[in-house]
């Protein structure tokens, strides 16, 4: 029987669509866990795979310090450190065997936390800060997303935001120029879309914020994400960027179609 002249082109198109969807599924998310060695400077470690680079500024008693690094504090570190509030297990906190509070539970293993350093103790020989401590006056972390990487949703885990540090906010800037600013008040005010009654602030507390879809605020996708700590210490445990992924059902349909065309060609 004569083979259909359309089978080969259609097969090729379907194969290409399936491959494209699979690539999009794999590249549609980025998980920044900051699990590097204690004191490591974080700048461009996530640039190649996820298109994310990081810069920082600190607030000092004398003003803004633009020459600041964002560095890692290992929250699983044992023994004495410059800041027991950033350690999950420490005799310097209320609960020596776990986090003191927050919605993730006392046993949550955060690993590397991203902080702004208070101490100027950079070890140029080993290329790390020797005794990390988060800056009491706060500052800003800025995550810049390279062109070609499309993220519309983000979520994060925050640690050790104290009661006197409730003035923090997140500013997302879209590639379309739109800007949205989300604050501590949003997640702690009943009735707000981001309200979460499980959020608790305090020394040695750790919380996960609800995922935020920037398209709900008229942004097309994330070009920049800025975390500001206004006169507050604190840390970021992880950031997860994502976009809506192709549905499993669509992939299944395309897969079935490929099988059908393969059979017709045999």
144 sits in which H/E element: strand 138-145
In degrees and rounded to multiples of 5, residue 55 shows phi and psi of: -135, 165
Report which of 197, 198, 194, 215 is spatially closest to residue 206, judged by C-alpha positions: 198
Going residue by residue through the chain, which has 266 residues, state the pLDDT in tens, using 9 for 90 and above.
444 444 555 545 444 554 444 444 434 689 999 999 999 999 999 999 999 999 999 887 777 887 889 999 999 999 888 888 899 998 888 899 999 999 999 999 999 999 999 887 888 888 899 888 888 888 999 999 999 999 999 999 999 886 554 578 899 999 999 999 998 888 888 999 899 999 988 889 999 999 999 999 999 999 999 999 887 788 999 999 997 554 444 444 445 544 444 544 44
Rounded to two decimals, the pTM is: 0.79
Q: Determine the Cα–Cα distance for residues 117 and 142; give it in Å rounded to an integer.
A: 15
Quick one: pLDDT at residue 8? 55
Per-residue confidence (pLDDT) for residue 60, from 0 to 100: 78
What is residue 126's predicted lDDT score, i.e. its pLDDT? 84
Residues 6+ apart with CB under 8 A from 31: 238, 239, 240, 241
């Amino acid at each position: 029987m004569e083979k259909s002249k359309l089978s080969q082109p259609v097969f090729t198109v379907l194969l290409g669509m399936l491959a494209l969807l699979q690539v999009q599924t794999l590249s549609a998310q980025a998980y920044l866990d900051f699990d590097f060695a204690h004191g490591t400077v974080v700048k461009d470690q996530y640039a190649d795979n996820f298109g994310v680079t990081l810069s920082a500024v600190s607030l000092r008693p004398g003003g803004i310090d633009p020459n600041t690094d964002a560095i890692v504090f290992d929250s699983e570190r044992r023994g004495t450190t410059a800041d027991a509030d950033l350690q999950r297990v420490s005799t310097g906190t209320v609960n020596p065997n776990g986090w003191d509070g927050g919605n993730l539970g006392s046993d949550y293993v955060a690993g590397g936390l991203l902080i702004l350093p208070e101490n100027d103790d950079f070890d140029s020989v080993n290329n790390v800060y020797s005794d990390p401590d988060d800056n009491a006056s706060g500052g800003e972390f800025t995550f810049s997303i390279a062109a070609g990487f499309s993220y519309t949703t983000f979520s994060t885990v925050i640690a050790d935001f104290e009661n006197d540090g409730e003035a923090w906010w997140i500013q997302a800037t879209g590639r379309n120029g739109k800007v949205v600013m989300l604050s501590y008040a949003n997640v702690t005010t009943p009735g707000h879309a981001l309200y979460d009654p499980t959020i608790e602030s305090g020394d040695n507390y750790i919380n996960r914020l609800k995922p935020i879809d920037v398209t709900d605020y008229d942004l097309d996708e994330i070009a920049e994400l800025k975390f500001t700590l206004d006169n507050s210490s604190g840390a970021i445990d992880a950031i997860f960027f994502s976009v809506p992924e192709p549905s499993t059902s669509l992939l299944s349909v395309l897969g079935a179609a490929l099988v059908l065309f393969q059979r017709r060609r045999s």
